[in-house]
């Protein structure tokens, strides 16, 4: 069996890296005494994985973890033990138990929802209308450390629409980003597109970005949660 969890990365720890976040959960799993399975070999590692790396600085209420178990235990017992062992800033939202052969959660994720709060000098309604009207918005992803070819993508194919509310210099954005087998886009990249290509006067460095959902879709395109309710 594997224990599947929806967990948070809250504001106070938003600046720890993905690797640090992952190691912190591994330590919590050991503290909790979860009967986790290990790989064979000289340097056995814990059979544990996190779906979808989150950018540093972004909070999330929907990180997903899968822990392969060496022994069966009731779900409630596992959740209780782990909840007590997690550091401040990480909480369990949902959990379930699945067969070992259940597909990886990451492979099922088809989209993520974001909420952004950012200072913005003026109401960007007209600029956002321009974004909505544009049939295509090209964006060139710079490669890490300048290696490899830059890749140009169409922002609209990932983010078809944006909901916005502006009041007294503060802008609130809500949008979904598609996750496809060939890639996705970061919320921060989208903010850069709005700032640079659409002249939205937002204070990019002060943006408070939150990932609020990570979901799959059913045959009719409706959002469905990645794991069942606890």
Q: Which residues bind another protein (CB under 8 A)?
A: 12-13, 15-17, 20-21, 23-24, 26-31, 33, 38, 42-44, 56-57, 85-89, 203, 205-208
CB of 229 to another protein, least distance (A): 27
- Of 125 and 203, the one with the shorter C-beta distance to another protein is 203
CB of 154 to another protein, least distance (A): 27
**Would you say 153 and 184 are in contact if contact means Cβ atoms under 8 Å apart?**
no
CB of 34 to another protein, least distance (A): 11
> Between helices 75-85 and 18-32, what is the axis angle to 10°?
120
- H helix and E strand count, the chain: 6, 11
- Of 31 and 217, the one with the shorter C-beta distance to another protein is 31
Q: What does the alpha-carbon distance between residue 95 and residue 98 come to, in Å, rounded to a whole number?
A: 10
- Of 17 and 199, the one with the shorter C-beta distance to another protein is 17
What are the strands, taking DSSP E only, across the chain? 2-9, 48-51, 59-68, 92-98, 111-119, 138-141, 151-154, 162-167, 170-178, 208-217, 223-225
CB of 118 to another protein, least distance (A): 10
- Of 43 and 152, the one with the shorter C-beta distance to another protein is 43
- Under DSSP, the state recorded for 143 is P
- Of 45 and 101, the one with the shorter C-beta distance to another protein is 45
Query: Measuring CA to CA, which residue among 174, 213, 212 is closest to residue 191?
Result: 174
CB of 8 to another protein, least distance (A): 13
């Amino acid at each position: 069996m594997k224990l599947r969890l929806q967990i948070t990365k809250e504001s106070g720890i938003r600046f720890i890296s993905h690797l640090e976040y992952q190691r912190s959960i591994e330590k919590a799993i050991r503290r909790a005494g979860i009967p986790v399975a290990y790989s064979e070999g000289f340097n056995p590692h814990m059979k544990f994985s996190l779906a979808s790396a989150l950018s540093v600085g972004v909070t999330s209420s929907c990180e997903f973890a899968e822990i392969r178990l060496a022994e069966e235990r009731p779900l409630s017992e596992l959740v209780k033990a782990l909840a007590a062992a997690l550091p401040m800033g990480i909480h369990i939202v949902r959990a379930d138990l699945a067969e070992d052969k259940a597909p990886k959660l990451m492979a099922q994720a088809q989209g993520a929802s974001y909420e952004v709060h950012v200072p913005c000098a003026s109401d960007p309604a007209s600029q956002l209308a321009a974004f909505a009207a544009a049939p295509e918005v090209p964006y060139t992803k710079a490669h890490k450390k300048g290696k490899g070819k830059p890749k140009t993508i169409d922002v609209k194919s990932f983010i078809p629409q944006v909901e916005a509310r502006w009041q007294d210099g503060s802008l609130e954005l809500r949008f979904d980003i598609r996750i496809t087998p060939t890639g996705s886009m970061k919320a921060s990249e989208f903010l850069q597109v709005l700032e640079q290509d659409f002249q939205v006067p937002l204070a990019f460095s002060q943006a408070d970005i939150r990932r609020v959902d990570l979901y799959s879709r059913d045959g009719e395109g409706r959002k469905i949660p990645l794991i069942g309710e606890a």
